[in-house]
Amino acid sequence: MLLIGRNVNKEAYLENEYWITVSKIKNPTTRLNKRKILLIRLSYLTQYAEAIGVYFIIYDFFRTKEQQKSRYAKGRTEPGRIVTNVNGITARSKHQDWHAFDILILGPQNRSRWGAAAGYQVLGEFWESLQGIWGGRWYIEGKTKFNDVYHFQA
């Protein structure tokens, strides 16, 4: 089961639907191929999650440069905790190229399960078994200070 989060950028979502249609009739470029691979893996991830009784929404997929810049400001020039190491300008986020999405696992009564809920690792390891990159691995390996278990990347 796949629910699309309320704050998913609708224009970007439509652009993606457009791309799926176009890719059927044209040879996709390498960049588009990566998007396609991400979506194919996502379909496997949703099937797997449903099979093991884990439910999630995608709360963040495509980001504009401005959206990435404002995330980078969090915990630096704006209040809050640091949530990204990529400023969106000199370093592009994978979200700016449709090469990553962030999920939020839902518990009973669709309550959000933030943090290191067990489901993230289970889904993350499944994602890695599909050759995808899972954000939680960076923390486990000491590469990031924040645990980005929500992040699934092509």
| Residue ranges in contact with Zn ion by CB under 5 A | 100, 102, 151
Nearer to Zn ion, 46 or 99 (CB): 99
d(CA 48, CA 45): 5
Least spacing, CB of residue 100 vs Zn ion, in Å: 5
Nearest to 84 by CA among 19, 130, 96, 55: 96
For 73, the token pair is: 């400001």
Least spacing, CB of residue 21 vs Zn ion, in Å: 26
Least spacing, CB of residue 40 vs Zn ion, in Å: 19
Nearer to Zn ion, 23 or 117 (CB): 117
Nearer to Zn ion, 23 or 37 (CB): 37
Nearer to Zn ion, 102 or 126 (CB): 102
Question: Closest residue (Cβ) to Zn ion?
Answer: 151
User: What are the φ and ψ backbone dihedral angles of 53, each rounded to 5 degrees?
Assistant: 75, 30
Least spacing, CB of residue 148 vs Zn ion, in Å: 6
Least spacing, CB of residue 108 vs Zn ion, in Å: 25
DSSP-derived 3-state class of residue 8: coil
Give the pairing of strands 112-113 and 133-134. unpaired
Nearer to Zn ion, 100 or 149 (CB): 100
- Going by C-beta distance under 8 Å and a sequence separation of 6 or more, which residues neighbour residue 108? none
- Residues 154, 93 contacting (CB under 8 angstroms): no
